[in-house]
Amino acid sequence: MPYESAAKDANFTVLATIEAVKNSLRSCDEYRYITSLHFGGAWIGSLPLDVTMHQGKMVVHLSGVQMKPAVKPLAIGMMLQLHMPDENNLHLGVGGTWIDVSRDLQPVHYFLNMQARSLGSLGYKVGGLLGEDDHVDVSTPPPGCKQLPMLTAIPRRIHGSARLTP
C-alpha cells in the first residue's frame, strides 16, 4: 500500500510464496498453496515479519527472532500490532483492520491461510491478488488443461488460502 508504489516506498507490503503441490502426475491437477508470507514497508520499519511453514509448523520471525505465542499483542513499527495467541494463528492489526494468518490443519499438506479484513478502511487502493491487479496469470489453467465450469466440474475439495473480506 498504496497501490502501484515501489516496494521501497510502500507503507505496507505482503509478499506470498505460492507453491504447487501435486496430488497426481498431471499438471492440471496441481493445487497451489501459500507456504510463506513476508510483511514489510514503512509501517513495520526495520522489523520485517516472516511467516513460514517448516516441517508442518507455522514459524513466525520478527526481525529474525522467532516469536512464541503470547497473551498480549505486541506493537511493532508505526501502525501495527502483532498477536500470536497460539502456534497456529497470527493476527496482524493494521490501523482499523486485521490480517489473519493461520496454519491449515490438513494432515497431508501444510500451508498458510490468509484473510484480510477492511483494508479499504486504511484509505489506500490495494494491489496484488487480493486487490486491483490483473489475476489472469494465476486464474488461467496451464496450457492443455480444460477449464470446467464450477457447476459441472468433477467434485474435488477446493482449498482456499487467501481471501479479502470487505
- Is residue 158 in some structural domain? yes
Residue 16 has pLDDT above 50, yes or no: yes
- Is residue 91 in some structural domain? yes
Query: Do the Cβ atoms of 77 and 43 come closer than 8 Å?
Result: yes
- Is residue 143 in some structural domain? yes
Beta strand ranges found along 7-157 (DSSP E): 13-21, 31-40, 49-54, 57-62, 65-66, 74-76, 80-86, 89-94, 97-103, 112-117
Q: Virtual CA dihedral for 129, 97, 158, 103, nearest 10 degrees? A: 110
- Is residue 2 in some structural domain? no
Query: Do the Cβ atoms of 90 and 58 come closer than 8 Å?
Result: yes
Domain of residue 22 covers 7-165
- Is residue 139 in some structural domain? yes
Radius of gyration of the chain (CA): 17
More confident position, 40 or 77: 40
When divided into structural domains, the chain yields a total of 1
Name the residue type at position 51: V
Quick count: other Cβ atoms within 10 Å of Cβ 64?
8
More confident position, 104 or 43: 43
Q: Using one digit for the tens of pLDDT, what is the confidence trace for 109-157?
A: 678 888 888 877 888 888 776 677 776 776 677 777 766 554 444 444 4
Name the residue type at position 134: D
More confident position, 31 or 42: 42
Query: Do the Cβ atoms of 101 and 84 come closer than 8 Å?
Result: no
